[in-house]
Amino acid sequence: MERAQRKLEHIKYALELGDGPGSTHFEDIRFLHNCLPEINPADINLSVEIFGKHLRLPFLIDAITGGTDSVTDVNAKLAQVANALGIAMAVGSQYGAVRDKTGYASYEVVRKHNPNGVVLANISELATPAQAQEAVAMLNADALEVHLNPAQELFMHEGDKDFKGLLDNLLRIRDGVSVPVIAKETGCGIALEEYERLKAEGITCFDCAGVGGTNFPAIEAARQGLELTDDFATWGIPTAWSLLDGSLCCKKEDLLIASGGIRSASQVAKAFALGADIVGITGVVLSLIQSSGVKVAVTYFEDISRQLTNYLLLLGVSKPQDLRRVPVIFEGATCNYIDCRGFELATLCKARR
């Protein structure tokens, strides 16, 4: 009962609070116009392969919900959007469901509406390998997101505040499941230092989920009638910075998902330029399906895809991932970030990842 209530409150406050107030810092990145793009629209290809399956468009509706009957309809609609577009979808955390053996139907509905698509399971770092494998089996999932969310847990009244031993448990989960594991934040970003620690342990798939969109610490505070102040109101790593860090660590064969406050074609194009393989968009999709329905959410992704094509045409590349090799200009706080982190500004301006 408590878990069901929490799931509904997450949706309620995510919709009420919307994005921010922290910035993604994509606004600090500018493309350089190419007056000889030498490309034909017929050459543009937005499709991508992940986990051995084909996505028609390079997007993911990231983890939102599941676990109680009252959100089955939300997952059904999200799956219909993903199926209509040929994009990937993750379900919300299945930890409570596999622990209490309840609420399975609210997740299984996703496979019903998207039988052949890329579907990602989602679980807490606290899960046992057997629970994690059960979450995967529930969906016949293509991969498993393990969420790393210390800031959310800290500000969640009923959250788990003991962060010791979680990396070891994440590795036990990785060793115990039949699909690839994705290390995923929930809106506070991943820094180079943690990408490197995870990579050193053999984790090769990441979802940066940085600052700029859904603000989980703020959602948890709002559930208690509180408002976050000081640094905690914008706690975390802006998505553009977390992606830069990821691009410095990830190899071509690794998977880097960009997410956190990505809402426009401009941000999508810049996310690819910073090294993303695919882009996750979450809070705004929840808002669209709840306020306007499946069709409008499908149109939202189609509009972004059309505009993304314009970016590719003007920049002279045929695939979003090729934006990594076009020159970009870093401005403002992101320039300062690159400087403070000791990264090579001129090298990053030329190419990333």
Ligand X SMILES: Cc1cc2nc3c(=O)[nH]c(=O)nc-3n(C[C@H](O)[C@H](O)[C@H](O)COP(=O)(O)O)c2cc1C
Which positions lie near ligand X, rule CB under 6 A? Answer: 10-11, 14, 62-65, 92-93, 122, 145, 147, 184, 186-187, 209, 213-214, 259-262, 281-283, 286
Considering the complex, what minimum distance in angstroms separates the CB of residue 346 from ligand X?
31
Considering the complex, what minimum distance in angstroms separates the CB of residue 340 from ligand X?
24
Considering the complex, what minimum distance in angstroms separates the CB of residue 36 from ligand X?
35
Residue 148 or 348 with smaller CB distance to ligand X: 148
Residue 260 or 275 with smaller CB distance to ligand X: 260
Considering the complex, what minimum distance in angstroms separates the CB of residue 223 from ligand X?
12
Secondary element (H or E) of residue 299: helix 294-315
Considering the complex, what minimum distance in angstroms separates the CB of residue 213 from ligand X?
2
Q: Report helix angle 192-200 to 239-249, nearest 10.
A: 40
Considering the complex, what minimum distance in angstroms separates the CB of residue 229 from ligand X?
21
Residue 10 or 113 with smaller CB distance to ligand X: 10
Residue 212 or 275 with smaller CB distance to ligand X: 212
Residue that has been written with the tokens 């590349």 in this structure = 317
Residue 148 or 338 with smaller CB distance to ligand X: 148
* Burial class of residue 198 in the structure, from the number of CB atoms within 10 Å of its CB (0-12 exposed, 13-18 middle, 19+ buried): buried
Considering the complex, what minimum distance in angstroms separates the CB of residue 16 from ligand X?
11
Chain center to CA of 331: 24
DSSP state of 277: S
Residue 14 or 315 with smaller CB distance to ligand X: 14
Residue 278 or 326 with smaller CB distance to ligand X: 278
Considering the complex, what minimum distance in angstroms separates the CB of residue 163 from ligand X?
16
Residue 118 or 262 with smaller CB distance to ligand X: 262
Q: Note whether 138 and 107 are within 8 A (CB).
A: yes
Considering the complex, what minimum distance in angstroms separates the CB of residue 342 from ligand X?
28
Residue that has been written with the tokens 């989980």 in this structure = 216
Residue 298 or 315 with smaller CB distance to ligand X: 298
Would you state the torsion angle of the CA atoms of residues 218, 222, 226, 232, taken in this order, to the nearest 10 degrees? 0
